[in-house]
Every structure is written in structure tokens, then in C-alpha cells.
Amino acid sequence: MLQPTLTWLDLTARDRDRMQTLLNLFNEPGTVDEMGLGLIRDAFSGELFPGITSLQTHLRYVLFIPWVYKKLDTQRNAKEELNESLRQLEVKLIKPLAKTGETGVIGISAGASIQRRPSSIYWNCLRTWGIFQYPRSQSWYHSQLSRQRDQLSVRSSTHDDPTKDRPFWHPKLPDTAPDFPRSVTFELRQKEAAFVQEQITTHCSRSLLAFLANNPQKQLDGSFWDLSVINEASTSIRETVELARRFSLFAESMPLVYNLMLAERQTKLAEIGAEAAALVEEYQQRLQEWITRESAEDDLFIPSDLWCFLSQVRANLKHPTKRFIDAWADRIAAIGVSNIGTDREIRDSVEEQEVNIKREERARLKNIDRLRDWPGGSGLGRLDFNWLRAKELLLELYQGLINC
């Protein structure tokens, strides 16, 4: 599959940051959003596990990046392009990290041609956790560094200096690891882990991430809503966890019905009909399993609590998607959970929602060429709101806290 690319024309630094984030999402596992639920998914992720995305691989990268910038400040020739110098130092991280034998080395396949560098992947995390002390973009930071290099230091200004009273990086940032970056591992030193824990606690205090960071667990198996320690969390955290759990189960049915409809329509295509018939059976079975789990809930899902949550976190959901979710919940209440796979109104709403998201020319349920290209499954699975990645980072934090 071709990798998505964009050509910069006349964009501001903020525009470039936004578009790079968009490109990253194309490559992020679990972000295929067939039913328009991405904004809701991201709202829960940001509230539960602020700063974390599924592109992140190891916790110590949040220290590697400021260390790289500090190294850059001492090594960079003033005539060099800042971004290229940064890229070269980030590339130098790859080889020593690869020698550790650990998975999750960013750029291990691309090498010097790496496009999605650690500094880009972790930048929002650095801001959110207060390690980088300004709520500004990486491009903004580079512009400040360039101005200083040109001896137009904003720190010397008497009226428009945005950084004169506060350094870019947190003053308690742990010292750079010895022989960095030539010899480095993903293992956090105790002082480093304590620093990260404090930053999460200070800047994300109301989140599940902060609660778990301060309540180390021997294991984090299963979904976060299954952890017994959640019962000890604050009321607001428990309520958010329960709403996320309930919405995740409710929403799982939407891509299941969508993929079932696609499989059924593919059975009518002579060249792939036989293979599609097997998929129909698979999705019917998966939908039945969902019906069993949904039927075990004490109450039907009512979207009003979801709309209240989105309002509180200032997530502006598009009206067609809100209407789609409301109609889905209302229809289940009217016909019963067990009839969801065959109901005409449910199916019509799926088709309408796909067109709302993609327009007719790109909708698989409307365009036969797009239907032929369907790989047999898309957008499936239960939303976990970046728990898989958060869990791995938390386990590294726990280990760091007990390291010598």
C-alpha cells in the first residue's frame, strides 16, 4: 500500500503540525473510522489517558527527546537547518536502541529515511505532561530556537518575550543519560521514573492515567474497566470509565453490521462471491456474540450521558453522527437487541452514515468499485481508547520506580 504523502505549499507552522498529525493517523493502528466515531474515541482517550497515542512505543522517549534537543543546542552549527540537525540526532538513536533487542524502536526499518520521528510522535505528550512547558507546537519551539541563534533572542526582549520567565524544558528534567545517544536503552532509572510520575500527577491529576501511575499494579491484564483498583478511584474517574465501557460495547455493533452488509453485497459479485459467503457467516456469528454480551447489560445504552460528557470536554460532534447514534439507540430500544442484524432501518442508517462521512463516490455501499476493493474487514473491534499503549507505558513506569 502506498504511504500517504503531502506536499507543503504555503502553510503556516501550525498548518504543518496539523497535517503531520493527520498523516500519522493514517498509519496508526485502530484508527480506521468507518462510522464516524473518531471524535468520541479521541475524547475518551484524551480524558482517560492524556498525551498517549498508539504510535508511542516506550516511555523513555519522553526523556530522549529533550535530551536530543539539549545535545542539539551544544552541537549544532548555526548555519545548519534546525530540523535536519534534529533528524540526524534522532536517527543516531536507532542503532543503539536496536542493539537492546527490544521491539518498538522508532525508525528501525526506515533508518535514515525515517519520516515519523520520535519528537513528532511524542510532542503532544511532552506538552500535556508539562515536560515541555509551553502549550505550543514543535514548529513554534523551532522558531524560538532559530531566533535565538540569529541573536534575536526573545529572552532579551522587554515586552514580547514568551519564555523569559520560564525555560522551555522542565527545570527538574533528569540529567542526560551517560554517553547519550551512543549507548542508551529503554530502561528507566528510578529518578527518571519518579520525574515522569510527578509530571503525570501534576498535569493530568483527574485522569485514569494519573491514578494508575500513582497506584502501581502487579499486572494490568484485560480492559481497564475490569481492573479492581478502579473502585478506589475518584467518582469522576469511575463515571468516565463506566461511560467509556458502556459506549465501547454499544458502538461495537455498528462496524459489525456495516461489514456484514458489505460481505452480503460481495456475495453477488461473481469473482469473489464464494469467499464473501464465508465472511457473511463469520459476521453473523460475531454479531450474535455481541448480542449476547449486550443483552447481559442491566440497561440499554442511552446517549444522553455521552452528549453531556462530550460537552464537558468541549468535543464538538457533527450533527449527522449524533443523529446516527441517537437513531441507533432508539431503534434498538424499539426492536430489541436480537434483531439488529436484519432490521431495515438499522441498515438504512448505516448506508446513510457512510455517505455522510465519505460521500457517495467513496462509499463502499454505494460504489461497486469500492466494494470490490473491500479487504474483508474494516474498522472492527471494540474501542479501547489507547489502553493497550497506556498499559505498556505504565508497566515501564512501574519497573522504573523500583530500579536501582
Instruction: Write out pLDDT tens, residues 153-164.
Output: 444 544 455 566
The CA–CA distances, whole Å, from 112 to 107, 108, 298 equal: 8, 9, 54
Q: Is 63 exposed, middle or buried (0-12, 13-18, 19+ CB in 10 A)?
A: buried
* pLDDT class of 273 with cuts at 50, 70, 90: confident
Cell of 183: 549507548
Residue with cell 461473481: 270
Q: How confident is the model at residue 77 (pLDDT cuts 50, 70, 90)?
A: low
Contact by Cβ (8 Å): 246, 272: no
What is the pLDDT of the chain when averaged over all its residues?
Answer: 90
pLDDT, residue 79, reads 46
Q: Name the grid cell of 249.
A: 460495547
* Distance between CA atoms of residues 121 and 16, nearest Å: 14
Cα–Cα distance, 186 to 26 (Å, whole number): 26
- As a whole number of angstroms, the distance between CA 108 and CA 103 comes to 9
Longest dimension (CA), the chain: 74
Q: Please state the three-class secondary structure of 172-205 as a single string.
A: CCCCCCCCCCCCCCCCCCHHHHHHHHHHHHHHCC
Q: What is the pLDDT of residue 10?
A: 45
Give me 314's grid cell. 468541549
Q: Give one DSSP letter per residue of 19-38, joined into a string.
A: HHHHHHHHTSTT---SSS-H
Q: What is the DSSP letter of 207?
A: S
How far is it, in rounded angstroms, from Cα 181 to Cα 65? 11
Q: What is the pLDDT of residue 255?
A: 98
Grid cell listed for 135: 502549550
pLDDT higher for 403 or 287? Answer: 287
| Distance in angstroms (rounded) separating the CA atoms of residues 372 and 265 | 10
pLDDT for residue 396 is more than 60? yes
Contact 246, 221 (CB under 8 A): no
pLDDT cut 90: percent of the chain above it: 79
Q: Exposed/middle/buried for 323, CB within 10 Å: 0-12, 13-18, 19+?
A: middle
Q: What is the pLDDT of residue 14?
A: 44
Indicate if the pLDDT at residue 8 is higher than 60: no
Q: How far apart are CA 137 and CA 125, in angstroms?
A: 11
Amino acid identity for residue 188 in this structure: L
Contacts of 369 (CB under 8 A, 6+ apart): none
Residues 6+ apart with CB under 8 A from 94: 105, 106, 107, 108, 111, 114
Contact 115, 24 (CB under 8 A): no
